[in-house]
C-alpha cells in the first residue's frame, strides 16, 4: 500500500480557501503516554465527546503497522491469511457463475433469434419470408442428415434439378400438386413438405421449452451470484482492512520490538443553521427571511479534524503506550466536502471500494442489460413492475438499478465555485468560529477530565 496523504494535506491541496490560507483555523496537539492504561479509552472518550458536542462524526483513515518480530504481526497475519483463503474460494465460485451466466446469455440470444422466425410465421406480412428462412434451416440442420437422399444432394442428380426450387416454392402439399413438374419430383417435394411442417411445429415447441428452461436457469445462476456476492463482501473488506500500511523508515517501528503503530482520523461536522443563527444575533436579521434562505445554494459546516497517532505495545488484546492527538478546525461547504471525498477515493483510502467494485460491475454493465431483458420478459407481458436488480453490484452492497445518469469525469473535476459576498463575509467566518470553539472544547475537556493542566 502506498503512502496516504493526511486529510489536512488533502484539504490544503484541493480547497482554494485553505490552499491560500496554508493552515487550518486553529490547531491543538495533545501527547499522552501511559503504560498503566490502555489506548482504546483515549479514542472512545474523544469519539463520544464529539457526539456530545453535536458533531456528526465519520472515520476517514484507519491504518496500522506491526513490528515483524511482534506477536501482533503474527496474529494479524494468521487472520489475514484465513480471510484471503475464504475470499479466494468464493471468488473462484463467483468466476464460475459469471462464466456460466455469460454462456447462458449467449445461448438465450441465439434462441431468441431463432424464435423470431416462428413469431414472424404467424404474421401475414412476414409469413412468406419466415417460411423460406425456416426451410433453409431445415435443409441445413435436418434434411442434410439423409445423405444422398437429401434435397441438396438430389438436386445434383439428373431429373431432380428442379426439386430444390420446388421445395421453396411450395407452401404445403396442395401447392406441390399445382407445380408444373414431373410426378417423381412432386412426390419428393410433397413428402419433404410434410416432414418440414411436422418439424416446424415440434421444433418450435421444443425451442420455446428450452428457452424457458434456460431463462429459469439464468435466474437461478443470477440469484446464486447475488448470494455469493453477499457472502464474499465482508471477507473482501476484512482482507483489505487487515493489510498493514508500509511505514517506511518510521523509527518508532523496530523489527525486533513488540510494537504497533495506529493512524486514525475522524472528521466531525456541524451544519450552520442560517435561520437560527440570524435569530440568535450571530448573523444579520435579513438572513432569517425565507426569500434569503431560498437563495442559498449550499450549506456550510463547522468541521473538526482529529488525527490520532498511537504507538502501542500489544498485551493480551489491549494496547498500552503513547498517543498523539491533533485537533484542527475548518469551515467547509457541501461542495468542498464532496471534493475531499472524491480525492480520498482516488488515493489508497478508497482501495476497499475499488477492489470490491472492480471485481464485477465495471466489466459487466452491458451484460446486465441483457440479463434484465431476459429476466423481465414475463413481467413485461403481464404488465408488472420490472425487477432491475443487478447481481454484479451486490459486491458493493447495492441491489437497485440506478436510473440517473453517471456523473461524467468532466462534472466530477469541475472547479469549486468561489464564495459569494454573503458566504465570504458572514457564513464562512461563522462556521470557522464554531469549528474553533468545538476543537478547543474537545482539547480542553479531555485535559480537564484526565487531570492535566488547563488554561481555562
pLDDT digits (tens, 9 = 90+) for 345-357: 775 444 544 555 5
* DSSP state, residue 284: -
Question: Contact 416/15 with Cβ under 8 angstroms?
Answer: yes
| Distance of alpha carbon 197 from alpha carbon 99, whole angstroms | 37
C-alpha cell at 319: 494496547
Could you tell me the sign of the dihedral formed by the alpha carbons of 205, 208, 211, 212, in that order?
negative
pLDDT higher than threshold 90 for residue 269: yes
* Residue located via cell numbers 480525492: 343
| 82: in domain | no
Tell me the three-class secondary structure of 90-105, residue by residue: HHHHHHHHHHHHHHHH
pLDDT higher than threshold 80 for residue 286: yes
| 84: in domain | no
> How many CB atoms neighbour CB 357 within 10 A?
17
| Distance of alpha carbon 342 from alpha carbon 223, whole angstroms | 32
Mean pLDDT of 3-22: 84
Residue 381 pLDDT level (bands cut at 50, 70, 90): low
C-alpha cell at 61: 483513515
- Could you tell me which residue, 325 or 363, shows the higher pLDDT? 325
Side by side, the strands of the sheet bearing 56-66 are: 26-38, 318-333, 300-315, 260-271, 56-66
Mean pLDDT of 128-132: 84
Q: Burial of 123 by CB count in 10 Å (0-12 exposed, 13-18 middle, 19+ buried)? A: exposed
| 288: in domain | yes
| 248: in domain | no
pLDDT higher than threshold 90 for residue 187: no
Average pLDDT, the chain: 79
| Distance of alpha carbon 238 from alpha carbon 228, whole angstroms | 16
User: What angle is formed at CA 157 by the lines to CA 154 and CA 161, rounded to 5 degrees?
Assistant: 80
Mean pLDDT of 194-216: 88
| 215: in domain | yes
Position 400 scores a pLDDT of 43
What's the chain's Rg over C-alpha atoms?
Answer: 36
Question: Contact 348/4 with Cβ under 8 angstroms?
Answer: yes
| Domain housing 304 | 7-67+259-449
Residue 441 pLDDT level (bands cut at 50, 70, 90): very high
267 plus 172 within the same structural domain = no
Highest average pLDDT, of 42-51, 147-156, 224-233, comes from: 42-51
Last residue of a domain, one of 170, 198, 219: 219
309 plus 407 within the same structural domain = yes
Residue 46 pLDDT level (bands cut at 50, 70, 90): very high
| 180: in domain | yes
309 plus 401 within the same structural domain = yes
Position 78 scores a pLDDT of 78
DSSP conformation letters of 356-392: HHHTTGGG-HHHHHHHHHHHTHHHHHTT-------SG
Tell me the three-class secondary structure of 231-274, residue by residue: HHHHHHHHHHHCCCCCCCCCCCCCCCCCCEEEEEEEEEEEECCH
109 plus 62 within the same structural domain = no
Mean pLDDT of 113-132: 83
Q: What is the pLDDT of residues 81-117, one digit of tens each?
A: 887 888 888 888 888 888 888 899 889 888 888 888 8
| Distance of alpha carbon 196 from alpha carbon 201, whole angstroms | 9
| 90: in domain | no
Question: Contact 192/143 with Cβ under 8 angstroms?
Answer: yes
Position 154 scores a pLDDT of 77
Position 87 scores a pLDDT of 80
The residues that bridge with 263 in the sheet, in sequence order, are 63, 309
Position 182 scores a pLDDT of 76
Position 405 scores a pLDDT of 45
53 plus 131 within the same structural domain = no
What is the CA 71 to chain-centroid distance, rounded? 36
pLDDT higher than threshold 60 for residue 419: yes
189 plus 327 within the same structural domain = no
49 plus 106 within the same structural domain = no
* Residue located via cell numbers 475522524: 266
Position 396 scores a pLDDT of 44
DSSP conformation letters of 393-409: GGGGT--S---SPPPPH
Q: Which of 215-229, 319-333, 337-351 has the lowest mean pLDDT?
A: 337-351
| 76: in domain | no
- Could you tell me which residue, 79 or 306, shows the higher pLDDT? 306
366 plus 281 within the same structural domain = yes
Residue 1 pLDDT level (bands cut at 50, 70, 90): very low
Question: Contact 423/283 with Cβ under 8 angstroms?
Answer: no
Residue 226 pLDDT level (bands cut at 50, 70, 90): confident
Torsions phi, psi for 32 (to 5 deg): -135, 125
276 plus 410 within the same structural domain = yes
Position 337 scores a pLDDT of 92
126 plus 268 within the same structural domain = no
375 plus 305 within the same structural domain = yes
Position 33 scores a pLDDT of 81
Task: Give the distance between the most distant pair of CA atoms in the chain.
Answer: 118
The domain tally of the chain equals 2
205 plus 321 within the same structural domain = no
Position 430 scores a pLDDT of 94
Q: Which of 32-41, 126-135, 393-402 has the lowest mean pLDDT?
A: 393-402
Position 403 scores a pLDDT of 43
| Distance of alpha carbon 155 from alpha carbon 178, whole angstroms | 20
Mean pLDDT of 283-288: 88
Q: What is the pLDDT of residues 135-178, one digit of tens each?
A: 888 888 887 888 877 777 777 776 777 777 777 777 777 777 67
Where do runs of H (alpha helix) occur along 122-182? 127-141, 151-154, 163-169, 173-178
Last residue of a domain, one of 200, 219, 238: 219
Quick check: pTM over 0.75? no
Amino acid at each position: 500500500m502506498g503512502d496516504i496523504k493526511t486529510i489536512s494535506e488533502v484539504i490544503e491541496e484541493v480547497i482554494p480557501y485553505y490552499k491560500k490560507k496554508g493552515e487550518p483555523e486553529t490547531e491543538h496537539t495533545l501527547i499522552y503516554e501511559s503504560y498503566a492504561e490502555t489506548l482504546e479509552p483515549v479514542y472512545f472518550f474523544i469519539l463520544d465527546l464529539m457526539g456530545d458536542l453535536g458533531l456528526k462524526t465519520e472515520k476517514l483513515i484507519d491504518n496500522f503497522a506491526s513490528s515483524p518480530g511482534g506477536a501482533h504481526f503474527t496474529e494479524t497475519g494468521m487472520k489475514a491469511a484465513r480471510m484471503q483463503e475464504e475470499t479466494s474460494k468464493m471468488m473462484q465460485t463467483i468466476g464460475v457463475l459469471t462464466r456460466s451466466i455469460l454462456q447462458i446469455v449467449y445461448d438465450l440470444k441465439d434462441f431468441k433469434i431463432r424464435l423470431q422466425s416462428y413469431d414472424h410465421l404467424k404474421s401475414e406480412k412476414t409469413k412468406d419470408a419466415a417460411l423460406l428462412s425456416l426451410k433453409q434451416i431445415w435443409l441445413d440442420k435436418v434434411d442434410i442428415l439423409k445423405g444422398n437422399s437429401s434435397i441438396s444432394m438430389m438436386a445434383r442428380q439428373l431429373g431432380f434439378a428442379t426439386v430444390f426450387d420446388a421445395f421453396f416454392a411450395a407452401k404445403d402439399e396442395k401447392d406441390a400438386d399445382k407445380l408444373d413438374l414431373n410426378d417423381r419430383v412432386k412426390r419428393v417435394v410433397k413428402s419433404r413438405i410434410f416432414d418440414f411442417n411436422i418439424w416446424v411445429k415440434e421444433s418450435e415447441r421444443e425451442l420455446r421449452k428450452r428457452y424457458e428452461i434456460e431463462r429459469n436457469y439464468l435466474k437461478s445462476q443470477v440469484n446464486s451470484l447475488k448470494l455469493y456476492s453477499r457472502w464474499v463482501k465482508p471477507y473482501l473488506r476484512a482482507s483489505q482492512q487487515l493489510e498493514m500500511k508500509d511505514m517506511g523508515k518510521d523509527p518508532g517501528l523496530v523489527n525486533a520490538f513488540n510494537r504497533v503503530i495506529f493512524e486514525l482520523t475522524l472528521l466531525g461536522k456541524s451544519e450552520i443553521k442560517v435561520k437560527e443563527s440570524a435569530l440568535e444575533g450571530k448573523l444579520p436579521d435579513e438572513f432569517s427571511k425565507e426569500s434569503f434562505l431560498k437563495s442559498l445554494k449550499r450549506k456550510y459546516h463547522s468541521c473538526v479534524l482529529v488525527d490520532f497517532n498511537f504507538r502501542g505495545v500489544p498485551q493480551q488484546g489491549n494496547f498500552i503506550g503513547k498517543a498523539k492527538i491533533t485537533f484542527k478546525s475548518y469551515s467547509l461547504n457541501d461542495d468542498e466536502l464532496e471534493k475531499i471525498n472524491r480525492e480520498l477515493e482516488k488515493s489508497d483510502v478508497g482501495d476497499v471500494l475499488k477492489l470490491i467494485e472492480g471485481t464485477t460491475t465495471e466489466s459487466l454493465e452491458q451484460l446486465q442489460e441483457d440479463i434484465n431483458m431476459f429476466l423481465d420478459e414475463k413481467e413485461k407481458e403481464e404488465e408488472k413492475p420490472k425487477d432491475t436488480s443487478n447481481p454484479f453490484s451486490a459486491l458493493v452492497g447495492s441491489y437497485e438499478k440506478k436510473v440517473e445518469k453517471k456523473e461524467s469525469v468532466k462534472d466530477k473535476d469541475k472547479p469549486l465555485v468561489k464564495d459569494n459576498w454573503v458566504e465570504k463575509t458572514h457564513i464562512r467566518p461563522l462556521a470557522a468560529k464554531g469549528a474553533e470553539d468545538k476543537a478547543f472544547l474537545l482539547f480542553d475537556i479531555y485535559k480537564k477530565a484526565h487531570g492535566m493542566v488547563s488554561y481555562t
